[in-house]
Amino acid sequence: MTSSEIAMPGEVKADPAALMASLQLLPSPTPNLEIKYTKIFINNEWQNSESGRVFPVCNPATGEQVCEVQEADKVDIDKAVQAARLAFSLGSVWRRMDASERGRLLDKLADLVERDRATLATMESLNGGKPFLQAFYIDLQGVIKTLRYYAGWADKIHGMTIPVDGDYFTFTRHEPIGVCGQIIPAGFPPGVVNILPGYGPTAGAAIASHIGIDKIAFTGSTEVGKLIQEAAGRSNLKRVTLELGGKSPNIIFADADLDYAVEQAHQGVFFNQGQCCTAGSRIFVEESIYEEFVKRSVERAKRRIVGSPFDPTTEQGPQIDKKQYNKILELIQSGVAEGAKLECGGKGLGRKGFFIEPTVFSNVTDDMRIAKEEIFGPVQEILRFKTMDEVIERANNSDFGLVAAVFTNDINKALMVSSAMQAGTVWINCYNALNAQSPFGGFKMSGNGREMGEFGLREYSEVKTVTVKIPQKNS
């Protein structure tokens, strides 16, 4: 399910009776949610951090504190790595477990996520401000599908035999890379999974530089990704998968279905309050339809419902925190100062929490900060272009290369643009069409390696070649 597939039909929104009937069929948040698990998780036990320090978790919709969580640091990382290395040692329960049984455990975890889906979506809304229905139908559904997809892979990873020269029998094995530092769910033999909440400069730095960790998977900013890559190189040359920032181009040709392209472009920018690495924030529109596209985009942005994450009609919740809120508003002001036309929005909303109006800029040029920097907020920048060659060059003129999109009814244009884009993913006549089966990752400063799909599995294994001397080869 993509970000544009949970909106209610217009006739339902316009009919109060139909709206009430529809709302009664929707899942509900968990009322009076009690936050039970606030400690770190090492060797299948919840425990306090060694320092005893905690950090607050606040609801960005209200600014109120939800709970306090134990803060892990280097000492806790050391304990977790020790537990993980023991769990990975030869002869351990995990290493001797049948692959089919590992798959069964992943399926069981998917069952548990499905069982507690409403509670987990409620927690996500409290913690991050994402509308509950988006968390329920998109995020949690994605978790469940991903777990089931990889459960199916568990007993299907195999090597091959190789017809080498001479009297030898040669084959390959795909072996697990070892202890990996990343955020993953729990529910396995002791030490296999350890959860350590903490801050980047302490817990994150300790993981990246730890000699006992064999791989790091990181999702976040390009600046932090560089630091992780450096720390990995200084320690044990651990393998690093980085899914970093983006400033993704979305190209709209004049022959596209205009209403559809406007809605997809809207969802491509504003989904998750714009806090999405795939956000299609550089929208290039062919000159002949530019003014009409801007007009319809502004009308759609003004209809966007901003409010409580727990209101089922809400499309947009608050930004994650005050720091991000201020950064977005500062970038909006830079757009105005540099000459872009502010068509709508541009301000914080006068209520508790960190809400920002859906914002649309037109007359944006490539040299403006809002066209170059990742905003991570509900800000749509619309640029114009004249020719295909021009827009391809401009779209690729970025330090980033995570995703791109093109909207056209001409398959030749679509294939030409998709082959020319310097991006790890290109969508044709759609946006944010993400799934567990397809590899995802970036070009250039948007990262390295791939997540998801069969390619994602390769990041977590080492290929070993085994050669046996035999009396005589019979091919």
Task: Read off the amino acid at residue 245.
Answer: G
Active site residue 357: no
User: What is the distance between the alpha carbons of residues 460 and 443, in angstroms, rounded to a whole number?
Assistant: 20
User: What is the distance between the alpha carbons of residues 26 and 15, in angstroms, rounded to a whole number?
Assistant: 17
Contact partners, residue 412, CB within 8 Å, separation at least 6: none
Helix/strand/coil percent split, the chain, to 5: 40, 20, 40
Task: Read off the amino acid at residue 256.
Answer: A
Return the structure tokens found at 470. 């035999």
User: What is the distance between the alpha carbons of residues 102 and 98, in angstroms, rounded to a whole number?
Assistant: 7
Q: Which run of H or E residues covers position 335?
A: helix 322-337
User: What is the distance between the alpha carbons of residues 113 and 126, in angstroms, rounded to a whole number?
Assistant: 18
Q: Is the dihedral of CA 42, 45, 48, 50 positive or negative?
A: negative
Strand order in the sheet with 341-344: 341-344, 359-362, 379-385, 282-286, 249-252, 403-407, 425-428
SS3 299: helix
| 169 CA to centre of own chain | 43
SS3 202: helix
Q: Which run of H or E residues covers position 145?
A: helix 140-153
Which parts of 347-464 fold into alpha helices (H)? Answer: 369-372, 388-396, 411-420, 453-458
Set 101, 223, 230, 243: catalytic member: 243
Contact in structure between 203 and 210 (CB atoms under 8 Å): no
Contact in structure between 57 and 124 (CB atoms under 8 Å): no
User: What is the distance between the alpha carbons of residues 70 and 73, in angstroms, rounded to a whole number?
Assistant: 10
Length of the chain: 475
Which residues form the catalytic set?
243
